[in-house]
Every structure is written in C-alpha cells, then in structure tokens.
Amino acid sequence: MNPLTLAATLALSAAPAPVQMKVTGAEPGKPPLTTILFEVILRNDRAEPRWFLFPAWIGEPLGKGGVMGVEVFSTEKAVVGRFLGTGAFQAVYLPVRAKLTLKNFPIKSYREAGAPAPKSFDVVIAKTLTVGGKPAESWYGGASPASAKAGSADLKLAKRTGGSSTPDLSEVVVEVVEDGRVAIPLRR
C-alpha cells in the first residue's frame, strides 16, 4: 500500500460515525409502555442531503409495514417527521455537510414483563425516501423537511408544525434507497 492510500484509509477510519446515540432518560407510560429519551448526534458528510430514519418503537424493524400519514415537529434548528402506521418510523432530513445534535429524541418501548430486551436497533441513512410513490418532502404539508446545517435542538421544546395523511387513512408503501445503516446498542 502506498503512503497516500494508507493516509486516506486512516483518515476514513478516523471519521466520526454518522449517527451517535446515548440514552439520557425515560418517561414511563401505562405499563408496559416506556418512552426512551436519547441524545443523538447526526452527521451528513456527503455532498447530497440524507434522510436519517429511526424506529418509532424499539424492537420493531424499519420497513415492516406501510404508513398513512406524518406529524411534523419543529424547533428553530430541527425538523422531525413522525410517520404513522404499521410501519411507523421517524425521519430527520439533513442538508449537505451538516452536524446536528438532538436532545430528548423519543423512541417508544413496549415490553411485557419477563420478555427479553432488544440488544440494539438500526438507524437507516437514506439517499431518497418515497412515501406512496411521492418524495417524502411532499408529505410535510408545504414546510421544508430540512433541519439546520449545524446546531443543537431539544425536542421537548418542539411544536407540531404540520403534517398530512392519506385521504382515507389507508396505508401506502414506503420506499428507501439506503446509503448506510448504523446499529445502535442498547446498554443498561
């Protein structure tokens, strides 16, 4: 391996992960429901915008079913789309070369007593996201789905700023052109 190739390989391996998450708290609901709160650091070092797709429920894989609508929540720096349906998920759209920290990012957990706890879940990084044959951006009710290029946002302060649904509340197919996937370990 020549020195230039070695230097490039070392630089790539030293690059920070596109998704970093740590548990920062939990909000109990009616048992066995709990909302796990995370601090999330997202990085898009690509030359194109990227979607970051999170499960709505820990233990439910992304892409399991369809969706019938989206609720859009925003702060000054962040926009989160919470897609609803049997294939529920959450989406954050980052512009080119962006880094965003999200505090109190909620993911629900529903686990009966004695059931094994999931050891991890995946966050999908997508080049494109299509919902019901239309770009996901069109589901945001005219609001831009893009979060800021840099900054930090506390999602406990987010306000509902838009959304949309299918006319008859029937589910539609979600299509993802995946760019990567990051496994997030769940530690106690």
Q: What is the mean pLDDT, run by run of 10 residues, along the chain of 188 residues?
A: 48 78 93 93 97 95 92 96 97 97 96 79 97 95 88 96 95 97 85
Please give the pLDDT value at position 31: 84
- Per-residue burial over 111-146, b if 16 or more Cβ lie within 10 Å, else e, is eeeeeeeeeebebbbbeebbbbeeebbebbeeeebb
CA distance 182 to 138: 26
Q: Is 34 helix (H, G, I), strand (E, B) or coil?
A: strand
Q: Quick one: 4 exposed, middle or buried, by C-beta within 10 A (0-12, 13-18, 19+)?
A: exposed
pTM, two decimals, is 0.89
Please give the pLDDT value at position 157: 97
Please give the pLDDT value at position 155: 97
Please give the pLDDT value at position 149: 93
Please give the pLDDT value at position 12: 52
Please give the pLDDT value at position 7: 47
Please give the pLDDT value at position 9: 46
Please give the pLDDT value at position 1: 52
Please give the pLDDT value at position 10: 47
